Amino acid sequence: MAIGRLLLNANIKLLSPLLIGSGNDDYSDIDAILDEYNQPFIPATSFVGVLAHHLKEENFQYSEQDREFLEKLFGYSKKVNGQHESWQSKLYCSDLNLVDSAHLTTRDGIRIDSKTNIIKPKGKFDFQTVDAGAEFRLKLEAEYKDESFRLFVLRIFQTIISELTCHNDEKLGYEIPIRIGAKTNNGLGRVTIENHEISDYSFSKIDDVIAWLGGGKAPVKEDLVQTPYGKLNTDFVIDGYFDLKTSVIMRAYSSDPSAPDASHIKSAGKNILTGTGVKGVIRARARRILFTLFGYDNPRAEEIFSKLFGYVDEDSESDVKAAKSRIQIEETVLPAYPEELHTRIKIDRFTGGTIKAALFDTMPLFSSDIDTDKEAIRVIMKIENFDDHEAGLLLLILKDLWTMDLPVGGEKGIGRGVLEGIGAKIIIKDDEINIGKDIAQLTEEEKIKLSDLVVKLNNLVKSEEVSNATII
């Protein structure tokens, strides 16, 4: 029997759109999950599942007893010495309902053939997301039977708060590792925690029992604030700032007949650079770099590519037919670039004349005299538990973005989406390297650290050549 309960009350705020599908397709291919009042919510199963997966990672510095407590907190069902053992979870969570209101947006998506770089047949789909800014109520409760487990749960609650806290001023929160919902590696589901409060109800005290039964606050206890569990940093992050040299458009389509045929995509009323759009560009360039280095259709190149960007193999005869991408691209808000309507036509390449009924218009964003020291396009790439050669591959992609060789968005064929690097922060585990527009200002030590990562990728190519030579 429990001798007490710990309660974490907080608000969970969306820093980027949220995608949690209901399984229905009445309004899109993937409709957002709604409650009985037609309001979006976060199912407790989704939230607790994400917490359990994240907190059980090897990067956390738990003691052996802490690992045992963690299993008991979330519950388990497994075989030990041929015998089935199970333990009921000691954690209780309610569905996270809206604090106020939220706006749903329908987004378009496409599936690109990585070899031809064109849309796959029947590869167009759409899905509903909850716009950034929405807040949900969190009520997380855990029971304890002894003092040691109580102190453990307190530290876990403080760790959850720490892992969900947005530390940087710009509120992008790429340092927040806990994401909710689908497409989290494409920038969706980024959240932060606000207005958090921990209460401790000891059932050996009548006042605490009355407060818990009546939903009141428990008396304040001195040891509620505990040090969060430490975590080893195994991330590689590129946080790049770029100047827009031409124009850019990531298409969104309106049902309003008076609106342009295509305009730049918005979220919560602001123009954005979607993680999905940027990731598609980076994915295609990474594949091109690997097959240029290793040779076309080289199994080693395919292995490196699949391990980093994930894959789906419906024709595979093995049990493992898919793997999730390990590279994370953030969704970012664009500066207040002006937009301008462009009317375009489609030309018949054989006659040189206009194709009938092929008049259309688009509304891209254009570069302006915005102060680039304060406003710039931000591209953030992150790999958790990275290998050195994977970091080297991302550095080569950064170089292409930096030197205006890798445009982003749509209508690249007519010169849109060209970026020029003006600054970047590169995080290699606990090291941080800052790059200005003049790369020559890097110290020799910083140059060596970055070049060594690219060398690791080149060394894989050389070892592959030696292997092939041996086989021949």
Between 368 and 93, the higher pLDDT residue: 93
* Nearest partner of 280 among 165, 417, 140, 100, judged by Cα: 417
So what's the pLDDT on residue 108?
80
Sorted by where each begins, the domain ranges of the chain are 4-214, 235-471
Residue range 288-331, pLDDT digits in tens: 999 899 887 788 888 899 899 987 776 665 655 678 889 999 99
Question: What H or E segment, with its residue span, contains residue 73?
Answer: helix 64-74
Contact 426, 435 (CB under 8 A): yes
So what's the pLDDT on residue 243?
92
Question: What does the pLDDT average to over 159-174?
Answer: 71
Contact 245, 364 (CB under 8 A): no
pLDDT over threshold 50, residue 371: yes
pLDDT over threshold 50, residue 171: no
Strand, coil or helix: 427? strand
pLDDT bracket for residue 172 (50, 70, 90): low
Question: What does the pLDDT average to over 427-435?
Answer: 90
Between 245 and 323, the higher pLDDT residue: 245
Residue range 45-81, pLDDT digits in tens: 999 999 999 999 888 889 999 999 999 999 888 777 7
Average pLDDT, the chain: 85
Torsions phi, psi for 20 (to 5 deg): -130, 110
pLDDT over threshold 80, residue 107: yes
Strand, coil or helix: 59? coil
Residue range 22-39, pLDDT digits in tens: 888 888 888 889 988 899
DSSP state of 235: E
pLDDT over threshold 80, residue 97: yes
Task: Give dist(CA 14, CA 25) in Å, integer.
Answer: 24
Range with the lowest mean pLDDT among 11-15, 144-148, 372-376?
Answer: 372-376
SS3 content of the chain, % helix, strand, coil (to 5): 30, 35, 40
